[in-house]
Amino acid sequence: MKTSSFPGRYDSLAKVSEFVVEAARDAGLSSEEVYAVELAVDEACCNIIDHAYGGEGKGELNCSVIIDDGKLTVILSDHGKSFDPRSIPDPKLKVPIEKLKPRGVGLYLMRKLMDEIKYETIPHRGNVLTMVKRKHEDT
């Protein structure tokens, strides 16, 4: 397990990306899978900054990665506001462009991009998001 902490600001996103992309490559994921992890983590970090902390510069983004055979686990934690992911409905897709509201695809993307995703609020540790990406059989 490797862990790194980043200031909860948008300009940390590229650094978080580097950190998880390196781990995803080390885990032997294909380039599509690496991109999936990179995007899911970016969306998750934005949500932490925007919703858990309510803006930039309010708290840390803690990121851990665990590689074990054929899978990568990414754990993101924050000390901001908690929420219940089950209360968030899937976005409406295929809406005519004029009617689109610019929000609400991050969580959906994370679910589609990763194989497992779990959100917990743990006393003293804060909100802990655990996401798993498995290496595809034939890669």
Ligand X SMILES: Nc1ncnc2c1ncn2[C@@H]1O[C@H](COP(=O)(O)OP(=O)(O)O)[C@@H](O)[C@H]1O
Contacts to ligand X by CB under 6 A: 47-48, 50-52, 81, 83, 88, 103-108
Binds 47, which of another protein, ligand X, none (CB < 5 to 8 A, cut-off by type)? ligand X
CB of 139 vs another protein, minimal distance in Å: 14
Amino acid, single-letter form, for residue 48:
I
Residue found under tokens 């580097």: 18
Distance CA 86, CA 90 (A): 10
DSSP 8-state symbol, 136: P
Cβ contact 14:59 at 8 Å: no
| 135 binding another protein? (CB under 8 A) | no
Site string for another protein, 66-105 (x = CB under 8 A): -------------------------x-xxx-xx-x-xx-x
Distance CA 90, CA 111 (A): 10
The only residue of 3, 5, 31, 121 in contact with another protein, by rule CB under 8 A = 31
The only residue of 4, 13, 58, 134 in contact with another protein, by rule CB under 8 A = 13
CB of 122 vs ligand X, minimal distance in Å: 14
| 109 binding another protein? (CB under 8 A) | yes
Distance CA 49, CA 80 (A): 9
Amino acid, single-letter form, for residue 46:
C
